[in-house]
Structure 1
């Protein structure tokens, strides 16, 4: 089993089983062995890559005939506010979230990739396609909703939202009276067909 990451520092000091090979790998630029894997799994990767369709084709080519590809991706376009202290709080969340999504698009990400991934897998030649979607409520102060805080903290200086609004946004994410739906996580699965006999 091969585990790859662009920056695998998170694995430093980790005791891997003998059958696991961690390695640094840039999925956009570094080669993959063809026809090598029974299973390839990528979670929340292609959404961020401008080259996502090229990378998808490379992942398919790395599968053995009959091998399976599993891609798990967010659909960031459906994040309804489920409960808020008032209408202004819901509006603030939507404003900041929209600014974050706009910045992602400008960088080449596709925030709606989750809803497109199964079709992209079909166009890449995979068959036996299936998908499931998981979502839950994220409450203020909880672990899930912290994703919004971390995302905003990383790009706060570049999203064009005032410091006052950002402070109010962070306070809102910590407020148990605020609840937003999680990003739906689409788990899409497909199989590389067996080659036709010559």
Structure 2
């Protein structure tokens, strides 16, 4: 039976074979941005961090390096398969639904989520629980995609290969919206944090366009959702095969959606 286009489940499931490749590409693209912000917020030895929707292990491991043996990192996800092996005296791995389950016990100096809340249908409740988990003076750092269609120069619509890329990207956005995603969520993060009662709210954005990891991420993502693209009439197998062949040449400029980073402090 075909999967319902309005299924509220996560579109890019952790159990799919392409997941490890996608996590590696995301880490290469975005870990430098994430840890630039983490370091600027002063996260260091002895502090407690909650990594929400951890996905791959790179961010929990990077946080653990910063807090050291006197600190702690709680890494949570609905599916913890990619983080089970990193649990140690500093990192605790918990199966957890941020919109349904109480926050982990205790309070945190940093709560961080990257490319998570855009996939959560009840984002307001998830945000409330994350703010609740902060100690006074603790920081919430949210990083999420702005998935609204970009201007025609993104990607550069030079020829049929680029137009096919845009067709598949539009199909991906359709699938996301059908599962409750707010495609403009990333753009709204600063206002969202202020409305949650946080102080000192700031934000910036990172928009990789033509990096090798963009190509790796594109290939893995399209392979993960190809059955949904075809089932819902958003692309044919021939179009997907042709796009993957175009990607493999390394000659397409394949931007990821801009990732907005926003941070604020609990009074």
Aligned to 1:176: 250
The structure with the largest alpha-carbon Rg is: 1
Alignment partner of 1:40 is 2:103:
no
- Structure 2: which 5+ runs fail to align? 1-72
Aligned to 1:9: 81
Query: Superposition pairs for residues 77-116 of structure 1, below 5 Å?
Result: 77=148, 78=150, 80-82=154-156, 86-116=158-188
C-alpha deviation, 1:9, in angstroms: 1.1
Tell whether the 8 Å contact from 2:208 to 2:214 is kept in structure 1 after alignment: no
Distance in 2, matches of 1:150 and 1:158, equals 14
Question: Which has the bigger relative contact order, CA under 8 A and spacing at least 6?
Answer: 1
Q: CA RMSD in A?
A: 1.9
Tell whether the 8 Å contact from 1:138 to 1:182 is kept in structure 2 after alignment: no
TM-score (normalizing by structure 1): 0.86
Runs of 4+ off more than 3 Å: none
Alignment partner of 1:31 is 2:102:
yes
| Higher strand fraction (1 or 2) | 1
Alignment partner of 1:154 is 2:228:
no
C-alpha deviation, 1:143, in angstroms: 2.3
- Structure 1: which 5+ runs fail to align? 194-198
TM-score (normalizing by structure 2): 0.65
Aligned to 1:134: 206
